Amino acid sequence: MHIVNGIRPKIEPGTPSEYKNLMKQCLDADPSNRPDINTLREKISEINLFYQNKLDELLTQLEENNSFKIENHTSSNILSTSKLHHFENLPEPRNATGGELKAFYSKSFDFYIPDKIDDIGKSNNKENRTSKISIIFHLVNSKKLSKIFKKILKNGK
């Protein structure tokens, strides 16, 4: 539901600006501002070609300066498919403001993650963790998930 309210996936630091701009175009709330598949393919090809040329130049310089050979290894591409889902009664899509994005990504969560899988459920403050996780389930408006989680905890004792 966050994406409909303008919250988009965070772009990781270090992502080249060309990819950042393309991602922002693809995630625009207004579908008419998004590139079509042909434009997207062309832009990605241009970006890849640009970085491949830069890489080739660097490798050539390294080979000339250090006189070593680079082996070329290729691997097969993994194909993926996607499905078109139809949702009803959703709010009008929009792009979030900078303040909304900052508030969303600055939320902190207190999760207990044990070092060993065998330690799951053995903590003295299990009730505290259970209530925190129940709050998270409540926040995502999923009473059914919360009931299932509690049932699993009871059966796991």
Q: Which of residues 128 and 51 earns the better pLDDT score? A: 51
Q: Looking at the predicted structure, is the pLDDT value of residue 141 above 50?
A: no
Q: Where does residue 136 rank: exposed (0-12), middle (13-18), buried (19+ CB within 10 A)?
A: middle
Q: What pLDDT is stored for residue 146 in this prediction?
A: 62
Q: Looking at the predicted structure, is the pLDDT value of residue 88 above 50?
A: yes
Q: What pLDDT is stored for residue 43 in this prediction?
A: 93
pLDDT band of residue 145 (cuts 50, 70, 90) is: low
Q: Which of 72-76, 81-85, 86-90, 115-119 has the highest mean pLDDT?
A: 86-90
Contact yes or no for 88/4 (Cβ under 8 A): no
Q: Looking at the predicted structure, is the pLDDT value of residue 79 above 60?
A: no
Nearest-CA neighbor of 5 among 90, 83, 122?
90
Q: Which of 6-10, 122-126, 141-145 has the highest mean pLDDT?
A: 6-10
Nearest-CA neighbor of 27 among 4, 50, 48, 52?
4
Q: What pLDDT is stored for residue 134 in this prediction?
A: 55
Identify the weakest region by mean pLDDT among 4-8, 20-24, 38-42, 139-143: 139-143
Contact yes or no for 31/117 (Cβ under 8 A): no
Q: What pLDDT is stored for residue 7 in this prediction?
A: 82
Q: Which of residues 34 and 73 earns the better pLDDT score? A: 34
Q: What pLDDT is stored for residue 22 in this prediction?
A: 93
Q: Tens digits of per-residue pLDDT, 33-60?
A: 999 999 999 999 998 888 888 888 877 7
